[in-house]
Amino acid sequence: MKRREFLKSMTALAAGIAVPAPAVFSPARAQSRQETLLIISESGPNNLDIHGVGTIVPGYETSWNCYDRLISHDKKTLADGTEYYDRDKFVPELAEDWNVGDVSITFKLRKDAIFQDGTPVTASDVKWSFDRAVTVGGFPTFQMKAGSLEKAEQFVVVDDHTFRVDFIRKDRLTLPDLAVIVPCVMNSGLVKSKATASDPWALEYTKTTTAGSGAYRVASWQPGTELIYERFEGWKSGPLPKIRRVVWRMVPSAGNRRALLERGDADISFDLPPRDFAEMKQEAKLKIVSTPISNGIQYIGMNVKKPPFDDVKVRQAVAYAIPYQKIMDAVMFGQAKPMFGAEANAAASTLWPQPHGYHTDLAKAKALLTEAGYPDGFETTLSFDLGFAVVNEPLCVLLQESLAQIGIKTSINKIPGANWRTELLKKEMPLIANIFSGWLDYPEYFFFWCYHGQNAVFNTMSYQNPEMDALIDGARVAASNGDQTRYEADVKGFIDKAFAEVPRVPLYQPYLNVAMQKNISGYRYWFHRRLDYRWLAKA
Amino acid sequence: MSALAGTMRHARYVIGENPVTGLAFALFVIIVFVALLGQHVAPIDPLASDTAVALQPPSPHHWFGTDQLGRDIFSRVVVATRLDFGIAVASVALVFVMGGLAGVAAGFFGGWTDRVVSRIADTIMAFPLFVLAMGIVAALGNNVVNIVIATAVVNFPLYARVARAEANVRRETGFVEAARLSGNSEAQILVLQVLPNVLPILVVQMSLTMGYAILNAAGLSFIGLGVRPPTAEWGIMVAEGAGFMVSGEWWIAFFPGAALMIAVFCFNLLGDGLRDIVDPRRRT
Amino acid sequence: MAIPSLIGVVIVTFLLTRALPGDPAAYFAGPAATREAIEQVRANLGLDRPLPEQFLRYVRDLARGDLGRSLTTGQPVVSEIRTRLPASAELTLLGLAVAMLIAVPLGILAATRPGSLVDHACRVVATAGVSLPVFFTGLILVYVFYYRLGWAPPPLGRLDIFYSPPPAVTGFYLIDSLLAGQPETFIASLRQLLLPALTLAIFSLAPIARMTRASMLAVLSSDFVRTARASGLASSTVVVTYAFRNALLPVITTLGMVFSFLLGANVLVEKVFAWPGIGSFAVEALIAADFAPVQGFVLTMAVLYVLLNLLIDVLYGWIDPRVRIEA
């Protein structure tokens, strides 16, 4: 082909494809865009089954939407119109009725529920699924334990549509724990048929295929790229969702995610830095919903087994040296609830999280440090999880600067996300910035994992104090027995102690921000902070 | 006329004849100047945060604006000059010594030395080079020293190859024979006689490598393997600032990006000029 | 000669991934694992064995074609590479093609007017492209052409969400869509490819333009060209028909080098454009200390590099008969 002709045809082709196709060109496209929800996020699932080994958080969203549980939470509407899950009110999902007794709960399953392959849901499916959850180990088993669901013997099939959970101890958290993502009900017949000798729970099969009775099923999955859901037309546990098809695409660059949302080429995302949300709220081109993360706190932790942080005065000095407001402004752009600067350094109620009384006061910090015997300060390392660098990095830089002013010289240690858990377990890091949040929104739950002497991995401070343990244990027992007076006393007690001893300094309760196109409604905040597609609609 | 004066005259001629080369040299001088003066030219402490004035566009008080922590970008860009220039020079020095010595030894001694060095060079070349640099920094830890090492390792094969070829040629030349007869050890000949002769040939590559070192550091910063905060370094400032483009705060990435681009641009063009001065036979 | 390099690559990658700071056992064991649980997972994965034994197991698996499994995507590495490699290759080849389209004419132009303003301008343009970090160029292009002007499609990867990929024959959407007779899909794929390919092209202009110029200069001053000019042939004929073909050889070698260099630089461009390629896969794996994909990726690239060199040698022999005769 002669060069000139080639160039001509190439130019024509280039001109043709550079112009975006106007909507009128393909009415079919315009219509299906309406029925499809496009979600974008930085990363996607590595496993579609929450019981799987090493399943990361995005996989929880798939599990939530593709599987049903026995019960779920009702919704309540906050003052600003946001829909929020109601911690205390449960609604039927696969169980249409239940009876909470002294030694067990009996559930009556709905008779019309079917799995996505058409087989009916029975109590033996529920038992098999629950047995699986408490046996596979790892996170699911741990989460079941949080509600005293520990042994397969607790789960009893009374008949095809009646299921009983026996208690091994009275625990207020048992019922709420049955509404979290982990005790999902799987199509045991189908999944069992895929089991092998080395894989008795068929974890390999459920990793890439959903086998539930939930409102959506996974139609296709290219890990790391795209996940497509289709609505299950036979869903019985609630009204049929409005969105027929959900496409979830992974877009690594945060700037591009924002550009996509602002240009209307994507529908919904919550994976953006706080600054972007603050700006988008101002621009009002999109609908931004912000809710405080239930039972979640970003904090500065000090390992009480590593001097000089074993001295409470040193810890208090650090608490007075933190540049709280600077962090709220420059790191979170106001997208968080402050947990500092209360009038008194004591529990004002049994609500958690609540603010402590420390505020930025460098003079006081310096005085405390001198009292503790460090008039010239000391040197230490400040570590954070690189996986959350957007928040952690500026936070630590500001903290480093402020601590330097009272003589504490810190070197910043960025720990890759893959290694963060291992490092936490080692409990060697003297000073860290970290976040913890619990699915079950009760103060005794938070304190059990973070302050109790059992020294779980979440007790990153290695804080062990028998008085604290007594208060926490007392609160849990009081909750199960319904002893309101004792409960209040113990909860206020352990909060007071946490503030006085301050092994960790709460900074703020972060917001979960979601950005969506203005024509999207039905967003509801859940304790697991993932998207629930079942109530969403596109106008 | 002495050899040095002759070279200087030739240099002036080359620079004058080619305006682009002249520009490159002028820029280079400016960069060195700023790098040397560093902190003293910066009006404000590059590490001082002031959240009250965060994310402000360029103004008379902050010529390049401020970043998300309220730090003055102009000061940070100026101070980063020293660090980036240092990274560039250190990388080149390291790879020249490592690759040059290895290559020259391989070419000079032949035999096993040659085989080992060539094997190492081939193995390194077979890697996708940026991923190798990433792997080295990830494994050793992300700080300036390791970034320099990674850059040097990745460029090793090229230097080793060229040095080897040159040493091969010069193995039996007159001045080497003379040095041998004067009682110099083989090692002394290698370092004092052969290696310096390799320098002119590698001059173009060395200035290109300087540019590459800075770009490499920027790429590593983009995936989180760059220098540690709150260090001021062009690459990490660009990587962080890129996220602010969509929201309209263009200055955070623009100024460090411009500085980076000018520096790399200068180094790239410099190589041509240096080669023209040093080895006119190879002029193109 | 290639085999020892490959062996070296295998060994070095193995050691390098083992030196990475992450801990896959902790990753696998989950967020609430105790120390015992992690140790148990470590034993399961065989990571508690001494290094030489782990290496032997790895080599044994390699011989069976098993590259292990990725933690971040949960898929076998072999199938990941199989789906992702065509994505990267398609992007790189198109980028290279665009680069050639711009750089070769630039180089020829500069060579025909050495020392002139045009020559300097060409050099400045080519060098400017390679003076910015490639991810920054990509982000600027997205910002200007997509966000501001709306000319380019959303950077959502290889295809818009409404098009399904064509039936896979080569894995190259451009080729497969034509083979399957789907012109709409062809256009959609091409649209998505434009910006990332342009980013790569900008970054590879300089070496190609430089080599073209140098090679053309050398050829233009040769005897046979002087003869052609003296015989009265038109200048354009001399340049294109006689000089260029002979100047091609070094340019091809450069192309080979640039291609393998681009395959590595791909990783950043893929991250910016959400491209489901092998580069972004490897980077995610590296950050997460996910050994298997990193090892698989490096090995694949090394093999490709070896094959590429072979191809270039063959191409060389085909273009320049002298090489064949001498060999």
Q: Per-residue pLDDT tens for A403-444?
A: 999 999 998 888 877 678 778 888 899 999 999 988 999 999
**pLDDT for the residue A20:** 40
State how far residue C105 is from chain A, nearest Cα, in angstroms: 12
**pLDDT for the residue A25:** 36
Give B50 or A472, the one with higher predicted confidence.
A472
Task: Give the mean pLDDT of chain A.
Answer: 88
Name the pairing type of β-strands A379-385 and A409-415. Answer: parallel
C30 touches chain A (CB under 8 A): yes
Nearest to C111 by CA among C14, C21, C235, C12: C235
B197 touches chain A (CB under 8 A): no
Q: Which of A94-108, B1-15, B180-194 has the lowest mean pLDDT?
A: B1-15
pLDDT of B185 higher than 50: yes
Q: Quote the CA–CA distance of A232 and A211 in Å, as a whole number.
A: 12
Which CATH architecture group holds B46-268?
Orthogonal Bundle (1.10)
Other chains touching C, judged by 3 or more CB pairs under 8 Å: A, B
pLDDT of A322 higher than 80: yes
Mean of the pLDDT values across residues A387-394?
Answer: 86
pLDDT tens digits, residue range A447-461?
988 999 888 888 999
| Structure tokens, A494 | 């352990």
The answer to whether the Cβ–Cβ distance between A254 and B70 falls below 8 Å is no
State how far residue C305 is from chain B, nearest Cα, in angstroms: 6
The β-bridge partners of A100 are: A105
Contacting C residues, span 211-230, partner chain B, CB-CB under 8 Å: 213-214, 217-218
- The contacts of residue C286 (CB under 8 Å, 6+ apart) are B131, B134, B135, B138, C20, C294
To the nearest whole percent, how much of chain C has pLDDT over 90?
A: 8
Chain A residues with CB-CB distance to C151 below 8 A: 18-20
Mean of the pLDDT values across residues A353-379?
Answer: 92
Whats the size of chain C, residue-wise?
A: 327
Q: Quote the CA–CA distance of A327 and A399 in Å, as a whole number.
A: 8
Chain A residues with CB-CB distance to B138 below 8 A: 416
**pLDDT for the residue C28:** 67
B242 touches chain A (CB under 8 A): yes
DSSP element (H, E) containing A87: strand A83-92
State how far residue A416 is from chain C, nearest Cα, in angstroms: 7
Q: How distant, in Å, are the alpha carbons of A25, C159, C162 from that of A28?
A: 9, 17, 10
pLDDT of A26 higher than 50: no
Residue A22: which pLDDT band, with cuts at 50, 70 and 90?
Answer: very low
pLDDT tens digits, residue range B198-209?
777 787 788 888
On the question of a cis peptide bond just before residue B60, with omega within 30 degrees of 0, the verdict is no
Mean of the pLDDT values across residues B18-24?
Answer: 79
pLDDT of C38 higher than 80: no
> Which residue of A386, A397, A414 is in closest CB contact with B69?
A397
Chain C residues with CB-CB distance to A262 below 8 A: 147
Chain B residues with CB-CB distance to C221 below 8 A: none
Q: Which of A117-131, A335-349, C310-324 has the lowest mean pLDDT?
A: C310-324
Mutation choice for A interface testing from B246, B250, B252 by most A CBs within 10 A: B246
Mean of the pLDDT values across residues C119-125?
Answer: 86
Q: Quote the CA–CA distance of A5 and A11 in Å, as a whole number.
A: 10
**CA A45-A51-A57 angle, 5° bins:** 35
Residue C324: which pLDDT band, with cuts at 50, 70 and 90?
Answer: low
Q: Quote the CA–CA distance of C54 and C46 in Å, as a whole number.
A: 7
C114-153: string of b/e by CB count within 10 Å (b at 16+)? eeeeebbebbebbbbbbbbbbbbbbbbbbbebbbeeeebb
pLDDT of A6 higher than 60: no
State the sign of the Cα–Cα–Cα–Cα dihedral A107, A110, A114, A119: positive
Q: CB burial class (10 A; 0-12, 13-18, 19+) of residue C84? A: buried
> Which residue of C12, C127, C217 is in closest CB contact with B123?
C12
Query: Which three-class secondary structure string do you get for chain C?
Result: CHHHHHHHHHHHHHHHHHHCCCCHHHHHHCCCCCHHHHHHHHHHCCCCCCHHHHHHHHHHHHHCCCCCECCCCCCEHHHHHHHHHHHHHHHHHHHHHHHHHHHHHHHHHHHHCCCCHHHHHHHHHHHHHCCCCHHHHHHHHHHHHHHHCCCCCCCCCCCCCCCCCCCCCCCCHHHHHHHCCCHHHHHHHHHHHHHHHHHHHHHHHHHHHHHHHHHHHHHHCCHHHHHHHHCCCCHHHHHHHHHHHHHHHHHHHHHHHHHHHHHHHHHHHHHHCCCCCHHHHHHHHHHCCCHHHHHHHHHHHHHHHHHHHHHHHHHHHHHCHHHHHHC
Domain spans, chain B: 46-268
Asked if residues C165 and A225 have their Cβ atoms less than 8 Å apart, the reply is no
Mean of the pLDDT values across residues B256-276?
Answer: 85
**pLDDT for the residue A198:** 85
**pLDDT for the residue A48:** 93
Asked if residues A382 and A411 have their Cβ atoms less than 8 Å apart, the reply is yes
What's the complex ipTM? 0.81
C251 touches chain B (CB under 8 A): no
**pLDDT for the residue C110:** 85
B141 touches chain A (CB under 8 A): no
Residue A12: which pLDDT band, with cuts at 50, 70 and 90?
Answer: very low
A17 touches chain C (CB under 8 A): yes
Mutation choice for B interface testing from C81, C136, C147, C253 by most B CBs within 10 A: C136
Chain C residues with CB-CB distance to A35 below 8 A: none
The answer to whether the Cβ–Cβ distance between C8 and B130 falls below 8 Å is no
Number of other residues whose CB lies within 10 A of the CB of residue B180: 14
Mean of the pLDDT values across residues B231-258?
Answer: 86
Q: Quote the CA–CA distance of C259 and C92 in Å, as a whole number.
A: 7
**pLDDT for the residue B281:** 54
Q: Which of A32-36, A399-403, B136-140 has the lowest mean pLDDT?
A: A32-36
> Which residue of C16, C120, C287 is in closest CB contact with B223?
C287
**pLDDT for the residue A17:** 43
Nearest to A406 by CA among A379, A369, A373: A369
Q: Quote the CA–CA distance of C275 and A251 in Å, as a whole number.
A: 9
Mean of the pLDDT values across residues C309-320?
Answer: 76
pLDDT tens digits, residue range C232-282?
777 777 777 777 777 777 777 777 778 877 877 788 899 888 898 888 888
Chain B residues with CB-CB distance to C268 below 8 A: 130, 219, 222-223
Q: Quote the CA–CA distance of C248 and C242 in Å, as a whole number.
A: 11
> Which residue of A55, A223, A422 is in closest CB contact with C23?
A422
pLDDT of B223 higher than 60: yes
- The contacts of residue C56 (CB under 8 Å, 6+ apart) are none
C20 touches chain B (CB under 8 A): yes
The answer to whether the Cβ–Cβ distance between C274 and A256 falls below 8 Å is yes
Mean of the pLDDT values across residues C122-137?
Answer: 88
To the nearest whole percent, how much of chain A has pLDDT over 90?
A: 65
DSSP element (H, E) containing A100: strand A95-100
Mean of the pLDDT values across residues A194-211?
Answer: 91
| Structure tokens, A331 | 């790191």
Nearest to B82 by CA among B47, B42, B45: B42
DSSP element (H, E) containing A218: strand A216-222
Q: In chain C, which residue's Cα lies nearest the Cα of A48?
A: C74
**pLDDT for the residue C65:** 80
> Which residue of A256, A273, A397 is in closest CB contact with B229?
A397
| Structure tokens, C216 | 């053309």
To the nearest whole percent, how much of chain A has pLDDT over 70?
A: 94
The answer to whether the Cβ–Cβ distance between A393 and B68 falls below 8 Å is no
> Which residue of B49, B243, B244 is in closest CB contact with A401?
B49
Give A120 or A32, the one with higher predicted confidence.
A120
Q: Quote the CA–CA distance of C98 and C195 in Å, as a whole number.
A: 11
| Structure tokens, B117 | 């060095």
- The contacts of residue A329 (CB under 8 Å, 6+ apart) are B51, B54
Q: Which of A241-245, B89-93, C24-28, C119-123 has the lowest mean pLDDT?
A: C24-28
pLDDT tens digits, residue range C64-103?
888 888 877 778 888 888 888 899 989 999 999 999 999 9
pLDDT tens digits, residue range A27-46?
445 557 778 899 999 888 88
Query: Which three-class secondary structure string do you get for B2-22?
Result: CHHHHHHHHHHHHHHHCHHHH
Q: In chain A, which residue's Cα lies nearest the Cα of C146?
A: A259
pLDDT of B250 higher than 90: no
pLDDT tens digits, residue range B167-183?
777 777 777 777 777 77
